Amino acid sequence: MGLDTVQLVVAIEEEFGIEIPNADAPKLAVLGDMHDYIVCMLQQRGATSDEEQVWQRLSAVIIKQLGVRPKDVTRTAHIVDDLRAD
């Protein structure tokens, strides 16, 4: 993982109060997979998670951390290939 992706993972962990193990991070390269992972993690700890709210919060973190346009943040976007994170 490059610096952008490491910083993104840290920001997501802080936003949602979760920990993403290093072994899981490479499996979360597509935003839809990242979203589903976050929802699952929140549900496992017993937190009520509105999936749309999770998506909005995740999108905001991605836009801020990577400086991408909101229209580029889609469930099928690949963090490195489409959003140009290193």
pLDDT in tens, the chain (86 residues): 688 999 999 999 999 999 999 999 999 999 999 999 999 999 998 887 799 999 999 999 999 999 999 999 999 999 999 999 98
Number of domains, the chain: 1
Look at residue 23 and tell me if it is in a domain.
yes
Look at residue 84 and tell me if it is in a domain.
no
Look at residue 42 and tell me if it is in a domain.
yes
Strand, coil or helix: what is 78? strand
Look at residue 83 and tell me if it is in a domain.
no
Distance CA 51, CA 6 (A): 24
Distance CA 71, CA 38 (A): 21
Look at residue 82 and tell me if it is in a domain.
no
∠ CA(82), CA(73), CA(75), 5° rounding?
90
Domain of 53 in residue numbering reads as 3-72
